[in-house]
Chain A
């Protein structure tokens, strides 16, 4: 199985800060990586798919990069509504796997 490791596991930041979350796969997954945002008590929301493509309606301050085994999600200028938990997910091979999550907290 492909393991997905996110770092950091948690991060504190100020509104307006730039934040980068990384996700590393144990095998080459090409560009078959997605990023999700989840707020407490809510279902996950798709932010980025195919590693770099922003889902419709997602603000342009979010961006994804990477291919192969190393990926990043960047939020260029944090807004209050961005404080949530973020997950990466690979869909290159079964079983589909998620990273353990990165909790983004307000400082």
Chain B
């Protein structure tokens, strides 16, 4: 059974930093692209960042580019999101999500969908 468990959320002051983790199990983590998606309170879903299976290729939403860094440690089956220069508008539940393989392609974000999601971790940016 696929399990994705996010951690690291909490209350942080504007301008502060936080690192989220997503522990993966139940599948061969190193062969799947992964994403972070967030949802502000009462709002819709927003894709934040994605990373290829190897970690070589990373992509970001314009709203977080230059402030957030996605990474992964395939030896630890863990996905990360380093968040710096946090703003009030970054307040949200952050989900990690695993790509669904299509035609044997699992390694990249594009031309795919997210079939497994974690339960989310809440990040609150406030003074």
Contact = CB atoms under 8 A, between A and B. Distances in A.
Interface of A: 1, 32, 34, 36, 38, 43-46, 49-50, 55, 87, 89, 91-101
Q: Is the interface of A mostly helix, strand, loop or mixed?
A: loop
A96 B61 CA distance: 8
B110 A94 contact: yes
B26 to A, nearest CB: 15
Interface in B39-61: 44-47, 50, 59-61
A101 B100 CA distance: 21
A93 to B, nearest CB: 7
A45 B115 CA distance: 7
A38 B45 CA distance: 10
Contacts of A36: 45, 114
- Which 3 residue pairs are nearest across A and B when measured between Cβ atoms? A34-B113, A43-B117, A49-B113
B95 interface: yes
A44 B117 contact: yes
A98 B35 CA distance: 13
B27 to A, nearest CB: 15
B45 A98 contact: yes
A100 B35 CA distance: 19
A96 B37 CA distance: 10
Given A34-B113, A89-B113, A1 B62 contact: yes
